[in-house]
Amino acid sequence: MANKRPGGGRSTTRQAAKFLGVSVLSGAVLAGIALPAAGALGLVAKGSVEGFDEIPANLKRPPLSQKTSILDSEGGLIATVYSRDRTVVPLKDISPYMRKAIVAIEDERFYEHGAIDLKGILRALNNNAQAGEVSEGASTLTQQYVKNVFVEEAGNDEEKFAAATQQTLGRKIKELKYAIQVEEELGKKKILENYLNITYFSQQAYGVEAAAKRYFSKSAKDLELQEAALLAGIVQSPSRWDPVANGDQALKRRNLVLNRMAEQGHVSKDEAAEAKKKDLGLDVSKPQNGCITAVNGAGFFCDYVRRVFLGSEEFGKTREERNKRWNEGGMTIRTTLDPQAQKSVQASVKKHVYQSDEVATAVSLVEPGTGKILGMGQSRPYGLAKNETTINYSVNKSMGDGMGYQPGSTYKPIVAAAALERGVNPSRSYPSPYEMTYPSPVPKCEGQWSSAKPVKVANENESEVGPYGMREATAKSVNTYYVQLISDIGICPVVEMSEKMGIEPAGGGELRQVPSITLGVQEMSPLTMAAGYAAFASRGTYCTPVAIESIKDANGKSLDVPKTKCTRAMSERTADTINTLLKGVVEDGTGTKAGLSGRASAGKTGTTDNRYAAWFVGYTPNLSGAVWVGDPRHQRKMINITIGGRPHDKVFGGSVPGPIWRDAMSGALAGKEAPGFVEVPIADPPKKDKEKDEDDRKPGDRFPGGGNGGLIGGGGGGTEPNPTFSIPEGFIQGPGNGPGGRR
């Protein structure tokens, strides 16, 4: 049909609308706009043309909320997220059958009237009077579109939604006023296009494109006659005519639409009759929304991307603005996630730690020199069912609700880097006895730490007795060596190095300045540790982690995204020395089970006191990764435990996290170049008898009860996420009582 306009021109339309507005207020056409009788509502007519004119002239049409696609670095779909499942399409991409069907059932005189349909109102008044109730309305498609705009603007705000849908004179008058504006501004084709894109079709489908995908698994442009009639029949009452929930009723409604189309000449009677013979023909696609649908275990990374967006001022100055932008959706977000690396992470996690195990694991992979997060996964999937969680064990509390875990001896390389930056020669030896008292006092950034009473720290076993140089002490993870080292350089250089490497407490706040910092007693996240160690791999340059490569909005316009910030954390010489030290850990130290075949690699093991957590953090020149294994609640000690179907008397950083790291890294790096490190010659002091490695212990070897210098208040239980430890300033925990660094 032709796109006709009312015959009287804009001036006549406005005057008629003013007159109608007054009529509405006086109650003359209440039934015609699908309202109960004036007496039933107790409404009093007080309106006027002037009151009608007081309504703002411009209808604000917010952007329609659409689905957002989150992609990996190669453009593969990770997940689709949306507040409303909608894809906006132009009218030319909507089946002609659909355009005709919606007009036939919702507004048969759509192309003949203006914003309001006086004939329709009179017809509704007559029919409602005969029925004795409001059985028919007279809202035009334009008025329905305006109402949907109000609903869209309300979003998830329940109060605004109620105001947008309540049956009151005030709302109807606004609807009439704005319908006039819309008719004049947009014209019939655009109104029809907008209406079909905004209206709700049940089953979480907003707009005809989403509805076509939901019910028939096809695009709106491909809808056949009977399919279009079914969808058109839904919009008047989405729950009542839902074909999935109420198939028989939906079939009757569809056939009614087909009859109307034939009566109005949109299709022939034969076409309608043939279409009515067909069943509903549903090919339902379930709603695929949210990070819970992410592929390759990337649900936690997906949620991390959302949190990055909501926390970045690039997308809005206030949290409210960013929330609104996220809910509007329609974006295509390309991330840093490498599909090969992510698949490797998940394969390794599933191989070594089962979803139903008493403990869990989390893995993060970061690219040195760029800060790009290439992989992120954990053994308990993203979800709400048994043995699932929405807590991201890989990240800090603010980015995933986790609290982090004590990294144990994986913190020692930060202490070593701080010492090297202060000019300490890596060949310097310390007596490093099996057991010793913490030195006191020790300088802090301001003032000094001192102990009110002697507190002891011990090595993992009695055979570990110095003197040791830095190379052997690092390979064997000798606690007393590192306690003596920090007593020489002070605590402040270590805190400063941690800050330069982005290593911060997972729960927020500042690092506590106590000597046992050297043993990794403060909770860190795997992502923090992976990004920090990446500074060693990139010869001293630390880059903040980034997850988003680019974003395009619904119109294809590129948005600014947060960029990594790279700064020098240490000299190249210091980084090269650390690389040499940690290369020794995987070659002949506590991390031999993490060694990569045919690639230069370096890393450090960590096991906390009472074995609540075990770590391996390591890297090659082109990839850094951190693996944590433990009970997120800090209740299950990893002693006499089965993990991934394998029994363990005691879990060490090298025994479980090490192999997880090895397999995750091997798959992630398959087919990639294998550069080497720049190594630094390090002389060792004269040795005593060669000590045994932890994996070569014989029955009867002593395992001290503690000796790890944990802080007071550490090692408690609690519920997931694990609680923040309360540590009085100036105190440390003696052996056997609190968390601290082992291997």
Q: How far apart are the first and last CA of the chain?
A: 80
Which residue has better confidence, 21 or 627?
627
Residue 307 or residue 8, greater confidence: 307
Contact 428, 488 (CB under 8 A): no
Q: Which residue has the tokens 């003596």?
A: 484
pLDDT single digits (tens) 112-139 = 887 777 776 676 666 656 655 544 455 7
The burial class, CB within 10 Å (0-12 / 13-18 / 19+), for 424 is middle
- In this prediction the pTM is 0.78
| Confidence class for position 103, pLDDT limits 50, 70, 90 | very high
CA–CA gap between residue 429 and residue 415 (Å, rounded)? 15
| Domains of the chain: residue spans and CATH | 9-54+85-276 (1.10.3810.10), 72-84+292-743 (3.40.710.10)
φ, ψ for residue 566, nearest 5 deg: -105, 130
Kindly report, residue by residue over 480-506, the tens digit of the pLDDT: 999 999 999 999 999 999 999 999 999
φ and ψ at residue 621, rounded to 5 degrees: -60, -20
Q: Omega into 90 within 30° of 0, i.e. cis?
A: no
Question: pLDDT by residue (tens digit) across 647-693?
Answer: 999 999 999 999 999 999 999 999 999 999 998 998 877 655 444 33
pLDDT at 185: 87
Give the model's confidence band at 225: pLDDT under 50 very low, under 70 low, under 90 confident, else very high: very high
Query: 540, exposed or middle or buried, with CB in 10 Å at 0-12, 13-18, 19+?
Result: buried
pLDDT digits (tens, 9 = 90+) for 353-395: 999 999 999 999 999 999 999 999 999 999 888 899 999 999 9
Mean pLDDT (the chain) is 83
Q: What confidence tier does 339 reach under pLDDT thresholds 50, 70, 90?
A: very high
